[in-house]
């Protein structure tokens, strides 16, 4: 049984979905012991092209390095990889970084990968999943990483990005959202320390109507892209028009305006406290969602820098 470290990369098409599919394919070659976070980096060398998503997978396998590399090439081809120009853009790149302490040169196989110790986008995910990794010449991956920290890289740190299912889509954020709104409803109903006044009622009406209007506009802009999960749907595109040209997560902002307005109309101080809690929750959920959006859409960082407001246009 050999232990192989395999680097995955993609900068064409649905990059995250491609890497997820590659992990599934690699699982058929042995036991996947660990998968790193996703890392985004600008391409090094080659023609002009978009940023890469990278990761490292640790595979326990019965295949020898030559047979394993042949399978890696087959998986690349199955995902539309075409080898025409060196360092060109690619749908999927699978590199055999390490295989135990084996050193192989020739016959189309070079292990360890000749440039692995010079690339931060390889070393950082490698150290994440194999902290004690070392190259056959004795160089520790951590020491090599310390020499290339000037190379740009952005980590997308959400867990289990390669899995399909409730948790991988951010399902627990949805559960937390339902529980938080439910707790707010209970607080608004049971709070006995009521306050009332024309000023608070007027502000409550304004906030509630603003929330309803913002929700209506945002839902129209999203259309079929709407999902309660932080993970975007496979068929969805990046919405940057309409209200989304002013705020990145206006639906979350609309919910906050609605509950804040309803709290004032109900005269419930406790409900206002829970509203503040919901604001903190949606702020963090939006941040988690943006990690996933950056992993899915290469142009999301530019969109995020252009659209300043996260939840409510010109406010929050």
Which residues are designated catalytic?
81, 90, 93, 95
Beta strands at 38-41 and 109-111: parallel, antiparallel or unpaired:
unpaired
CA 31 and chain centroid, separation: 24
Which backbone phi and psi does 309 adopt, to 5 degrees?
-85, 135
* DSSP codes, the chain: -EEEEEEEEE-SSSHHHHHHHHHHHHGGGSEEEEE--EEEE---SSSS-PPEEEEEEEEEESS-HHHHHHHHHHHHHHTT----STT---S-EEEEEEETT--EEETTEEES-TTGGG-HHHHHHHHHH-TT-B-TTS-BHHHHHHTSTTS--EEE--TTTT--STTTTTHHHHHHHHHHHHHHHHHHHH---B---HHHHHHHHHHHHHHHHHHHHHHHHHGGG--SSSSPPTT-----SGGGGTBS-HHHHHHHHHHHHHHHHHTBHHHHHHHHHHHHHHHHHHHHHHHHHHHH-TTHHHHHHH--BSSSTTT-
Which residues is 55 bridged to in the sheet?
A: 8
């Amino acid at each position: 049984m050999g232990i192989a470290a395999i680097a995955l990369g993609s900068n064409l098409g649905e990059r995250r979905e491609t890497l997820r599919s590659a992990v599934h394919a690699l699982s058929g070659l042995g036991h996947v012991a660990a998968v790193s976070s996703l890392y985004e980096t600008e391409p090094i060398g080659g023609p002009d092209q978009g940023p890469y998503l990278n990761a490292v997978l640790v595979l326990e396998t019965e295949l020898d390095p030559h047979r394993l590399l042949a399978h890696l090439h087959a998986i690349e081809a199955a995902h539309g990889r075409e080898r025409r120009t060196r360092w060109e853009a690619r749908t999927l790149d699978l590199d055999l970084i390490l295989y135990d302490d084996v050193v192989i040169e020739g016959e189309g196989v070079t292990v360890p990968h000749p440039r692995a110790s010079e690339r931060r986008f390889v070393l950082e995910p490698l150290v994440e999943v194999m902290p004690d990794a070392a190259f056959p010449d004795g160089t520790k991956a951590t020491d090599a990483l310390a020499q290339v920290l000037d190379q740009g890289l952005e980590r997308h740190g959400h867990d289990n990005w390669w899995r399909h299912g409730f948790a991988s889509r951010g399902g627990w954020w949805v559960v937390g959202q339902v529980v938080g709104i439910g707790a707010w409803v209970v607080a608004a109903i049971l709070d006995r320390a009521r306050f009332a006044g024309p000023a608070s009622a007027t502000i409550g009406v304004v906030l509630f109507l603003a929330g309803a209007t913002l929700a209506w506009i945002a839902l129209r802009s999203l259309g079929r892209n709407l999902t309660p999960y932080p993970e975007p749907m496979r068929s969805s595109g990046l919405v940057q028009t309409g209200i989304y040209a002013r705020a990145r997560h206006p639906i979350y902002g609309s919910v906050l305006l609605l509950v804040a307005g309803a709290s004032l109309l109900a005269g419930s101080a406790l409900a206002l406290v829970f509203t503040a809690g919901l604001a903190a929750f949606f702020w963090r959920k939006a941040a988690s969602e943006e990690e996933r959006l950056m992993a899915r859409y290469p142009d999301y960082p530019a969109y995020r820098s252009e659209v300043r407001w996260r939840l409510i246009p010109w406010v929050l």
